[in-house]
Amino acid sequence: MAVGFTVKLDVNNFGPHYGDKKIAFSDEVDSNKAIFFATNGTGKSFISRAFRLTSTEKQTELADDLLTLGQASGSLSFRIINAGIERKLSVSVEKGKTPSIQNNTGLLFHVFNSDFVEENIKPRHYTPDGNIEGYILGKTQIDLTAEREREKKLKEELGSIGKEIDAEVNKAKRELRDQGVLPSTKEFSLIEEGRLRGDEQVGSVASFDEIVAQLDALSKVPEKLDDVQSPTLKVDQSVFGEIITLLTTKYPKTEWDEEFVAGIKANRAFIEKGLALSGDENVCPFCKQPYGTDALALIRDYKAYLADKEAELLRKIELCGKGISGIVDSLKGSTQSTKTAVADITSLKKYFPSLAEVELEIPEVSDDGILSFKAIIEMLDDKAADLSKTFPTINDTISTCKTAIKVVEDAITHNTQTIKAVNKTKQDSTGERLSLRRNLCKAQFLKYRAKLKPRFSEYDDESKALRELQASIVEKEQKVRISKRDKVYETMTFFLNRFFTDKYSIDKDTFQIRFLGSNVGDKASSILSDGEKSIVAFCFYLSSTHILMEREDDYNKLFFVIDDPISSMDFHYVYAVAQSLRDIKAFFGITTHERIWVFTHNMEFLSIIARNYIISKAYVMKPGSIEVLKHQLLMPYESHLKDIVETANGSQQPSHTTANSIRHVLETVSRFEYPERSIEKYIAENSILSQDSCIFTLCQDLSHGGIRIQQSFSAEILVAACKTVVAFMNSKYEGQVKAIPVMATNTDHINNT
């Protein structure tokens, strides 16, 4: 990881981290190695448990116990920001639901905390689980320079093509937006790489430029456009019944003179009008001259004839003829009005492209229909000439006429619905505009799909070549398989030996703990002390790292999160834990920077870690904050040594704590050198310490509580003892004594933080 990057940690509604006490931590660092000091109850374990939810076995379990009491949800966000690129782990917990984990950091978080112990080794009586399957794929020492160069070139080419494709897609979207198409339009989503790559059908539409022209035309629609009028057809078909009666009935001939009747028929309208105007007067209504005898006789004959049944039949025949002519005229009128509507719709099409396919049916009377109407009129004329004549074919003829009328009526009904839709489109230009814009998206989709097809093919070919090359590289690299079980055993053996030397080991076949060379079986939990149990658990945690690995490169992805690794341990084991943390990178073959976050409430452990540069970045966790630890670290051991040195050189007077300081320093050194040797024996066997006969008594007496009536040792004795201890330290650990003046200048004690 490059030098100088940002680490951010946000925790909300987990344990005590809520409200104004939520964690919002950010720091500029040069590595992801940090140790966090937190007193009990400040919520460090909630953080480690949240990180542990990233493990596969935890992601399907409820994590409600992480939530702050009274809260329904909580979250942890861990981010690494380097050169403007952010990698993020997001852990979200909602009550009653499995956790939501989003991890694009590329890291494997391996967490040690009390939960790890409770779930992985304590139920097995502190016997590690040896049921481990699988292999870690290793690498052979081969020269892949050419392949790596080719891989790099292919990635660059893919990046270039990808940018070109993105630019074209963005251009297509921009062109649509320029035409007023909103991204919320359903068809706008067609302009995405995934869909442009596909073969989905969107139907046939005009070209992009044509639709743009149509939109422009739509914007120029006149403010007032009359509706298209629907053709109508009004036909009284009751006349057909009257015609059938007249033409199928044979009427007897009258006795009127045929010439007389013919004259009336020829001038019937004139005669009826004249009689109506004349009334009962004997004066001609036209010339105003009195009627002569012959005229009066003729008028009487006219009236008599017109009152006769034959005259009535002739009137009916005449009316039926007019009815048929009216039907024919209506049919012709509907045809003409339909043609007018067609012309009106055609004029609208230049404004409303959606009407382009709209067509009306032109109602035309069939040839049979025309002939049938003519035949009826001819039959009526023949009937008027001879009332006794009948026409047996009239029913068929009328049926043909009705069929012709029905065809026209159906066409008008269809046209009426079409014209109604046309008028609605005309009135709703907004809907028309939306329809055009949707089609514009489709046209753009078809245009850019064709345009980008060669680039997609080129990209896919390059991608395939890259995949094949990478597969070849992996195949060459992964020639070696490493047993995960063997690696766990080797690591467990190594770390147990570091802590216990030969006292405890592990059986390769059963994974049982061995005490002085013998398997202890299920008795391990009763044989091991609490501190030793913590050590075994920590050793198994480090060993289980291999179980997470699939290939050797995965070691570089590790992020160790370690919470309170020294619980119940004797102090000399704490140094072994610290050294184990130092060796993590080398032991696991991590070729990049190792990543370790350690949480502790033990100040001495923090001091060891930081002062020995195992982890140089130290923080203090407080309610609602994580702060950089800015004070010089000073262990109690160093504080006691400082008191001894200053008492020996006269900088301060001896006090009631001086004997306790002597005991603490000597006990620390003796445990460091000979963990199994008592302090009494250590003092007795050292040539310098053994010269002062009071030192052991001081350690045993004044360093423990007790009621005293008078002071048991003088100030001189205490000063002399301090000088002896300083001489002893100079003989073995001169550097620690020399560091005392430096430490003395730092008045802020870490325990005051």
d(Cα 594, Cα 48) in Å, to the nearest integer? Answer: 18
Cα→Cα distances 328→196, 259, 260, 374, 400, Å = 59, 33, 33, 10, 13
Region 136-157 average pLDDT:
83
pLDDT at residue 304 greater than cutoff 60: no
- Give the CA angle between residues 358, 363, 369 to the nearest 5°: 160
Residues 654 and 721: beta-carbon distance below 8 Å: no
Q: How crowded is residue 260: how many other Cβ atoms within 10 Å of its Cβ?
A: 13
Residue 744 has a pLDDT of 39
Residues 500 and 535: beta-carbon distance below 8 Å: yes
At residue 1 the predicted structure's pLDDT band, cuts being 50, 70 and 90, is very low
Cα→Cα distances 392→21, 70, 379, 381, 401, Å = 108, 99, 11, 15, 16
Residues 108 and 548: beta-carbon distance below 8 Å: yes
Residue 638 has a pLDDT of 77
Residue 704 has a pLDDT of 45
d(Cα 695, Cα 689) in Å, to the nearest integer? Answer: 7
Of 135, 19, 42, the C-alpha closest to 621 is 42
Residues 123 and 537: beta-carbon distance below 8 Å: no
pLDDT at residue 2 greater than cutoff 50: no
**CA 131 distance to own-chain centroid:** 38
pLDDT at residue 564 greater than cutoff 50: yes
Region 47-54 average pLDDT:
95
More confident residue, 110 or 659: 110
Dump pLDDT digits (tens) for 194-215: 999 998 999 888 899 888 887 7
Q: What percent of the chain has pLDDT over 90?
A: 43
Q: In 428-570, which ranges are continuous DSSP H helix?
A: 429-477, 484-500, 524-527, 530-543
Q: In 53-144, which ranges are continuous DSSP H helix?
A: 114-120
Of 631, 561, 613, 619, the C-alpha closest to 26 is 619
d(Cα 565, Cα 96) in Å, to the nearest integer? Answer: 31
Per-domain residue ranges of the chain: 636-752
Dump pLDDT digits (tens) for 590-615: 988 899 999 998 877 888 888 778 88
Instruction: Choose the weakest-confidence range: 19-23, 299-303, 541-545, 630-634.
Output: 630-634
Q: What is the mean pLDDT of the chain?
A: 85
Length of the chain: 753
> Sheet of 617-622: strands edge to edge?
108-112, 558-563, 596-600, 33-37, 617-622, 625-628
At residue 77 the predicted structure's pLDDT band, cuts being 50, 70 and 90, is very high
At residue 313 the predicted structure's pLDDT band, cuts being 50, 70 and 90, is confident
Q: Which contiguous run of DSSP H or E holds residue 405?
A: helix 394-427
Residue 750 has a pLDDT of 30
pLDDT at residue 711 greater than cutoff 70: no
The whole-model pTM stands at 0.47
Of 503, 502, 506, 498, the C-alpha closest to 576 is 498
pLDDT at residue 306 greater than cutoff 60: no
Residue 312 CB burial class (10 angstroms; 0-12, 13-18, ≥19): exposed
Q: How crowded is residue 679: how many other Cβ atoms within 10 Å of its Cβ?
A: 19
Residue 395 has a pLDDT of 94
d(Cα 341, Cα 336) in Å, to the nearest integer? Answer: 9
Residue 256 has a pLDDT of 55
User: Which residues, including other chains, have CB under 8 Å from residue 691's CB and lie 6 or more apart?
Assistant: 724
pLDDT at residue 10 greater than cutoff 70: yes
Residue 604 has a pLDDT of 78
Read out DSSP for 216-272? Answer: HHHTT--S--PPPPPP-----THHHHHHHHHHH-PPPPPSS-HHHHHHHHHTHHHHH
Dump pLDDT digits (tens) for 450-509: 999 999 999 999 999 999 999 888 777 666 678 899 999 999 999 999 888 888 899 999
**CA 196 distance to own-chain centroid:** 20
Dump pLDDT digits (tens) for 659-669: 888 988 998 88
Residue 140 has a pLDDT of 60
Dump pLDDT digits (tens) for 622-659: 888 999 886 544 567 777 888 899 899 998 898 878 88
Q: What percent of the chain has pLDDT over 70?
A: 86
Residue 191 CB burial class (10 angstroms; 0-12, 13-18, ≥19): buried
Q: How crowded is residue 25: how many other Cβ atoms within 10 Å of its Cβ?
A: 16
Region 704-721 average pLDDT:
66
Tokens of 334: 């509907």
Backbone φ and ψ of 617, nearest 5°: -90, 115
Q: Which of 190-199, 427-436, 675-684 has the highest mean pLDDT?
A: 190-199
Q: How crowded is residue 194: how many other Cβ atoms within 10 Å of its Cβ?
A: 7
At residue 322 the predicted structure's pLDDT band, cuts being 50, 70 and 90, is very high
d(Cα 351, Cα 659) in Å, to the nearest integer? Answer: 106
Dump pLDDT digits (tens) for 213-269: 877 877 776 656 778 888 888 888 999 998 998 898 887 665 555 666 666 666 766
Residue 422 has a pLDDT of 84
User: Which residues, including other chains, have CB under 8 Å from residue 351's CB and lie 6 or more apart?
Assistant: 217, 218, 220, 221
d(Cα 507, Cα 510) in Å, to the nearest integer? Answer: 6
pLDDT at residue 16 greater than cutoff 90: yes
At residue 429 the predicted structure's pLDDT band, cuts being 50, 70 and 90, is low
Residue 743 has a pLDDT of 43
| Phi/psi-derived region of residue 288, left when phi > 0, alpha when psi is between -120 and 50, beta in every other case | left
Count how many Cα atoms sit within 13 Å of the Cα of residue 219 in the half-sphere of its side chain. 9
Instruction: Choose the weakest-confidence range: 9-18, 324-333, 388-397, 525-534.
Output: 525-534
pLDDT at residue 106 greater than cutoff 90: yes
